[in-house]
Chain A
């Protein structure tokens, strides 16, 4: 286990380095810079601005400076949002995405698994059919359609929830519903199919024959074995949801990190682009790592040390 973690950490550092380098040079390759504007800034002033942000230096030197700063844990300051630390901007915007994301993940997992379990246990009955129709809808309808529909019906038409903002508990309902529609559907389907498979396994029959209570069978054997595919899915889903859904944030007026990222790319705010890319990269890697660790915890047959790195 220890060796695995070290190994994994090493890989993460290399991946991060590749990510930083690729993003840095690709970003610089896009024409335009943070000071491009319809009203042109006089050459003299522009040169001073370039010098101030080291943009006048050759791109490799800029890269070197950036790597050096990163190693010291310094993500720099934004070029557009004047003098603001990149880490501060990431912190403020990510805290919104995270709050929303955590709620959404919990809701998605709880509702998804419950729905999948109910469907599997009532295979081919009404509950199963209803749950699966909902699941198909959840997967098929894009989140922005769900979001707009919810916003129109529940906020504008019936005035139950506010249209936008992110100040109180009431603000959570609509974005969480929109954000979780598709993960709930996926989780429900995964749980259902893998539980169905497990339900027909021999050891379940054995358990039944031994006279174990139904609840005990379902929770100790069926769910535990049936949940593996869900764990695989939850890792990337977690990363996906907490890194901020640009569309959902936009529709409900939530100042999350996704919105900030898009804006930074549009305005060529180099330090923010880099900062958020690195941040996203770390989250994705950590989420994958934790997924692997969770495997071991749930299924003792899996040993991390035996797994080949990809």
Chain B
């Protein structure tokens, strides 16, 4: 006994620490697992019955996908990020659903709707849909959810409340100017009919309804502020329900047999791991532990993109998405008040080499602000308005403009600080661009990287000269890009103000005529680019790897993924 006393002591030490601290972990780990799927076995169709001719489905319809970040919340009215978007799309369904192919809004919980002639009043007729606990989905559930978003007295303020400001009086109610919710443009006519009144004719309103802020929630959430923090209190109306969740580790959704179109849903379970390392995700995918890797919810390391593109051509997929990467000017600070100088910088850099050598994801060189994929007047906006007309890459012209601009400002050298948020990829782009400006225009650039929180605050406070920025679409309309540069706009952190531009955007906002809107958008974007408030660099792409046996997962115009109709072939 005595001989091994020291070793035993060691072990005892370890165990003591272990038991003392294990108290924190044990119980919680159990609650995560206690919500095991109870109804997973209730399938409508035999798993191996091919849906489309010749396809043989895998017996085990469990999809394995990685999330590079954890959804911060499962409350649709509180969500604000793309990961939550992907998961909530599986759990809920709004009045409309988006067709990823066409980008159009289709029937969701609403099976039909009527729109008044002035485009202001929408009357939705709801189908017979059920919540996962068997209750009927009614118009009241939508009104209840929307009130949760807008209610200025709600215990939890909804950051995305402004997504509902299209409804009549919604903004005033949210800001406490109107206190009676019945004044807001949403009326429950009966259980199956919802009448919605808007401020302005909003051609993209049907599309907005498929966005998570507009999802309904079950009335049981009213008395339980923590309902969205455990799987078993979440009653959903979408194709799946959340059945397991271990913070920081994994989550699992299971097919919801109460979903009205459950026969279209072939996946039984989707297991999500939560790992924020692109290298690990890729290796795991190659090892067959994942069915899909990459954007928008996962990540493939940039330097691996060209390699996997060659190595796995049948699995690699690239899709342009409606997001733009750009540099913006603080137009209130000299010498960047001078449009010639701004133009010179935009013209004096080469975009394709940046894409080929740095970002490597097949991004598209950008010369405008509205990215491809955004629809306007029944077509893609970018196909109607060529962005190459605004300016070209032209070093000689740029030098000339710069010289003129400097002369006007009484300078002989351009002082330039380029600010970006700390990140390897942003840094590489900034270094390359600084190098091009030096080589092409003889401008010495001071590079400055700031940690994210600091960076955003400085940008909002106009404490910069030239800063990196990016913008992704909230909805499928050029307005989501163009209304941000309105004078004093909440996201206008360049200090830009142009009365003519404001007028055009406001006219587009109040018009119901798509042709008129399209015209105003084109004119507004031209002003924005002539004034060169931003230097567009590239339009983003989504790069992903999908096993050949994974079918039915779709990516929409904005790059959001819909896994609800995904399934596995035999492999």
User: Which residues of A are interface residues toward B (Cβ below 8 A)?
Assistant: 30-33, 35-45, 48-49, 52, 80-85, 87-96, 98-99, 102, 105-106, 109, 113, 148, 151-152, 155-156, 159, 162-167, 215-216, 219-220, 223-224, 227, 231, 234, 238, 242, 250-256, 259-260, 263, 266, 268, 283, 286-287, 290, 294, 297-298
Assess whether A49 is in contact with B248, with CB atoms less than 8 Å apart: no
The verdict on B353 contacting chain A, using a C-beta distance below 8 Å, is no
The verdict on B390 contacting chain A, using a C-beta distance below 8 Å, is no
How far does the alpha carbon of A209 sit from the alpha carbon of B504 in the complex, in Å? 103
Choose among A31, A99, A263 the residue with the greatest number of B CB atoms under 10 Å from its CB: A31
Assess whether B10 is in contact with A109, with CB atoms less than 8 Å apart: yes
How far does the alpha carbon of A290 sit from the alpha carbon of B19 in the complex, in Å? 13
How far does the alpha carbon of A43 sit from the alpha carbon of B159 in the complex, in Å? 10
**CB-nearest residue of chain A relative to B456?**
A36
Choose among A32, A159, A286 the residue with the greatest number of B CB atoms under 10 Å from its CB: A32
- Please give the distance in Å from B461's CB to the nearest CB on chain A: 10
- Please give the distance in Å from A130's CB to the nearest CB on chain B: 23
How far does the alpha carbon of A245 sit from the alpha carbon of B24 in the complex, in Å? 19
Assess whether B174 is in contact with A45, with CB atoms less than 8 Å apart: yes
Q: What are the interface flags for B519-558 relative to A under an 8 Å C-beta threshold, 1 for contact and 0 otherwise? A: 0000000000000000000000000000000000000000
Q: Which chain A residues lie closer than 8 Å to B6 at the CB level?
A: 223-224, 227, 298
Known: A38-B456, A266-B452, A290-B13. A224 touches B21 (CB 8 A): no
Q: Which residues B437-464 have CB closer than 8 A to chain A?
A: 451-454, 456-458, 460
How far does the alpha carbon of A125 sit from the alpha carbon of B229 in the complex, in Å? 60
- Please give the distance in Å from B330's CB to the nearest CB on chain A: 16
Assess whether A252 is in contact with B280, with CB atoms less than 8 Å apart: yes
Q: Which residues B26-77 have CB closer than 8 A to chain A?
A: 26-29, 32, 66, 70, 72-73, 75
Q: Which chain A residues lie closer than 8 Å to B156 at the CB level?
A: 52, 82-83
Q: Which chain A residues lie closer than 8 Å to B17 at the CB level?
A: 238, 242, 286-287, 290
Assess whether B283 is in contact with A163, with CB atoms less than 8 Å apart: yes
Assess whether A45 is in contact with B162, with CB atoms less than 8 Å apart: yes
25 contacts between A and B (CB under 8 A): A30-B451, A30-B453, A32-B452, A36-B453, A36-B457, A44-B175, A45-B157, A82-B156, A83-B225, A83-B226, A83-B228, A91-B29, A92-B248, A92-B249, A94-B21, A95-B22, A109-B14, A155-B283, A162-B287, A163-B287, A223-B6, A238-B14, A251-B279, A287-B17, A290-B16
Assess whether A95 is in contact with B25, with CB atoms less than 8 Å apart: yes
The verdict on B410 contacting chain A, using a C-beta distance below 8 Å, is no
Assess whether A219 is in contact with B4, with CB atoms less than 8 Å apart: yes
Q: Which chain B residues lie closer than 8 Å to A48 at the CB level?
A: 152, 157
Q: Which chain B residues lie closer than 8 Å to A44 at the CB level?
A: 174-175
The verdict on B571 contacting chain A, using a C-beta distance below 8 Å, is no
**CB-nearest residue of chain A relative to B153?**
A48
Assess whether A251 is in contact with B457, with CB atoms less than 8 Å apart: no
**CB-nearest residue of chain B relative to A250?**
B277
Q: Which chain B residues lie closer than 8 Å to A290 at the CB level?
A: 13, 16-17
Assess whether A45 is in contact with B3, with CB atoms less than 8 Å apart: no
Q: Which chain B residues lie closer than 8 Å to A40 at the CB level?
A: 460, 490-491, 493
Assess whether B3 is in contact with A220, with CB atoms less than 8 Å apart: yes
Assess whether B248 is in contact with A256, with CB atoms less than 8 Å apart: yes
Top 10 A-B residue pairs of the complex, sorted by shortest distance between their CB atoms: A32-B453, A95-B25, A255-B248, A255-B249, A253-B275, A82-B73, A48-B157, A219-B3, A91-B28, A92-B247
Assess whether B470 is in contact with A250, with CB atoms less than 8 Å apart: no
Assess whether A93 is in contact with B453, with CB atoms less than 8 Å apart: no
**CB-nearest residue of chain B relative to A105?**
B14
The verdict on B138 contacting chain A, using a C-beta distance below 8 Å, is no
Known: A37-B80, A81-B247, A82-B78. A163 touches B284 (CB 8 A): yes
How far does the alpha carbon of A65 sit from the alpha carbon of B497 in the complex, in Å? 43
The verdict on B286 contacting chain A, using a C-beta distance below 8 Å, is yes
- Please give the distance in Å from B247's CB to the nearest CB on chain A: 4
Q: Which chain A residues lie closer than 8 Å to B493 at the CB level?
A: 40
How far does the alpha carbon of A254 sit from the alpha carbon of B458 in the complex, in Å? 35
Q: Which chain A residues lie closer than 8 Å to B75 at the CB level?
A: 82-83
Q: Which chain A residues lie closer than 8 Å to B307 at the CB level?
A: none
User: Which residues of B are interface residues toward A (Cβ below 8 A)?
Assistant: 2-7, 9-11, 13-14, 16-18, 20-22, 24-29, 32, 66, 70, 72-73, 75, 78, 80, 152, 155-159, 161-162, 174-175, 225-226, 228-229, 246-250, 273-277, 279-281, 283-284, 286-287, 289, 451-454, 456-458, 460, 469-471, 474, 490-491, 493
Q: Which chain A residues lie closer than 8 Å to B5 at the CB level?
A: 224
Assess whether B24 is in contact with A95, with CB atoms less than 8 Å apart: yes
Assess whether B28 is in contact with A286, with CB atoms less than 8 Å apart: no
**CB-nearest residue of chain A relative to B32?**
A92
**CB-nearest residue of chain B relative to A95?**
B25
Q: Which of B3, B16, B289 lies in contact with A164, CB distance below 8 A?
A: B289
Q: Which chain B residues lie closer than 8 Å to A286 at the CB level?
A: 17, 20
Q: Which chain B residues lie closer than 8 Å to A94 at the CB level?
A: 21, 24-25
How far does the alpha carbon of A85 sit from the alpha carbon of B157 in the complex, in Å? 18
How far does the alpha carbon of A207 sit from the alpha carbon of B529 in the complex, in Å? 91
How far does the alpha carbon of A85 sit from the alpha carbon of B247 in the complex, in Å? 11
Assess whether A35 is in contact with B159, with CB atoms less than 8 Å apart: yes
Given contacts A83-B75, A220-B2, A223-B7, 18 further A-B pairs with CB under 8 A are A36-B456, A38-B471, A44-B175, A48-B157, A81-B70, A83-B228, A83-B229, A85-B229, A88-B247, A89-B248, A91-B27, A94-B24, A94-B25, A95-B22, A96-B249, A238-B17, A260-B248, A290-B13
Q: Which chain A residues lie closer than 8 Å to B456 at the CB level?
A: 32, 36-38
Assess whether B284 is in contact with A253, with CB atoms less than 8 Å apart: yes
How far does the alpha carbon of A282 sit from the alpha carbon of B72 in the complex, in Å? 27
- Please give the distance in Å from B28's CB to the nearest CB on chain A: 4
Q: Which of A30, A151, A219 lies in contact with B280, CB distance below 8 A?
A: A151
Q: Which chain A residues lie closer than 8 Å to B453 at the CB level?
A: 30-33, 36, 268
Choose among A37, A42, A81, A220 the residue with the greatest number of B CB atoms under 10 Å from its CB: A42
Known: A256-B248, A294-B13. A250 touches B280 (CB 8 A): yes
How far does the alpha carbon of A242 sit from the alpha carbon of B17 in the complex, in Å? 10
How far does the alpha carbon of A52 sit from the alpha carbon of B493 in the complex, in Å? 26
How far does the alpha carbon of A49 sit from the alpha carbon of B458 in the complex, in Å? 21
How far does the alpha carbon of A262 sit from the alpha carbon of B18 in the complex, in Å? 23
Assess whether A251 is in contact with B280, with CB atoms less than 8 Å apart: yes
Assess whether A42 is in contact with B162, with CB atoms less than 8 Å apart: yes
Assess whether A156 is in contact with B228, with CB atoms less than 8 Å apart: no
Q: Which chain B residues lie closer than 8 Å to A256 at the CB level?
A: 248
Q: Which chain B residues lie closer than 8 Å to A105 at the CB level?
A: 14
Q: Which chain A residues lie closer than 8 Å to B248 at the CB level?
A: 89, 92-93, 96, 255-256, 259-260
Assess whether B246 is in contact with A234, with CB atoms less than 8 Å apart: no
Q: Which chain A residues lie closer than 8 Å to B281 at the CB level?
A: 164
- Please give the distance in Å from B253's CB to the nearest CB on chain A: 17
Q: Which of B27, B228, B491 lies in contact with A39, CB distance below 8 A?
A: B491
Q: Which of A83, A95, A152, A242 lies in contact with B26, CB distance below 8 A?
A: A95
Choose among A88, A109, A148 the residue with the greatest number of B CB atoms under 10 Å from its CB: A88
Q: Which chain A residues lie closer than 8 Å to B228 at the CB level?
A: 82-83
How far does the alpha carbon of A167 sit from the alpha carbon of B456 in the complex, in Å? 38
Q: Which chain A residues lie closer than 8 Å to B2 at the CB level?
A: 220
Q: Which chain B residues lie closer than 8 Å to A251 at the CB level?
A: 277, 279-280
